[in-house]
Amino acid sequence: MFKILVVDDDMNLRNVIKFNLVASGYFVTTAENGEAGLKSAQSRKPDLIVLDVKMPGMSGWEVLTNLRSTPKLKRVPVLIATAYLSQSDEERTSEVGVSYLAKPFNISELLAQVKKALGE
């Protein structure tokens, strides 16, 4: 069973994503901010991280930078899920090798991106 970490400061969205991923057969943990997400990633080593960009405190980009500089986490696929992706952010996702999903998204889009990121 694949382990997925969802990091988003929006509790309702975290819960919706978790519910749908669990219903699709994934083991899901969540974190409410970047710092908690990074700690969870370090302790659990998920197979995929669904990561919001705009969060109070540590942003998703800062989390991603930390993940990529941590040997045991640098190859973990990351799916950026955000409503605030600028043109430069889109280019940045391509440069660092992560996918993104624009909010609002429907669940079938999320599941398709998750399956693709996990190689299913």
**Using alpha carbons only, how large is the chain's radius of gyration in Å?**
13
pLDDT at 117 over 80: yes
Per-residue confidence (pLDDT) for residue 86, from 0 to 100 = 65
**Would you put residue 16 in left (φ > 0), alpha (ψ -120 to 50) or beta?**
alpha
pLDDT at 113 over 70: yes
pLDDT > 90 fraction of the chain, expressed in percent and rounded: 72
- Asked if residues 26 and 20 have their Cβ atoms less than 8 Å apart, the reply is no
Question: Phi and psi for 79 in degrees, rounded to 5?
Answer: -115, 110
State if pTM tops 0.85: yes
pLDDT in tens, 19-44: 999 999 999 999 999 999 999 999 99
Strands, sheet with 3-7, edge to edge from the N-terminal-most edge strand: 27-31, 3-7, 48-51, 78-82, 99-102
Q: Which CATH architecture has domain 3-118?
A: 3-Layer(aba) Sandwich (3.40)
Alpha-carbon distance values, 110 to 25, 42, 66, 98 (Å): 14, 24, 24, 14
pLDDT at 49 over 90: yes
Per-residue confidence (pLDDT) for residue 58, from 0 to 100 = 93
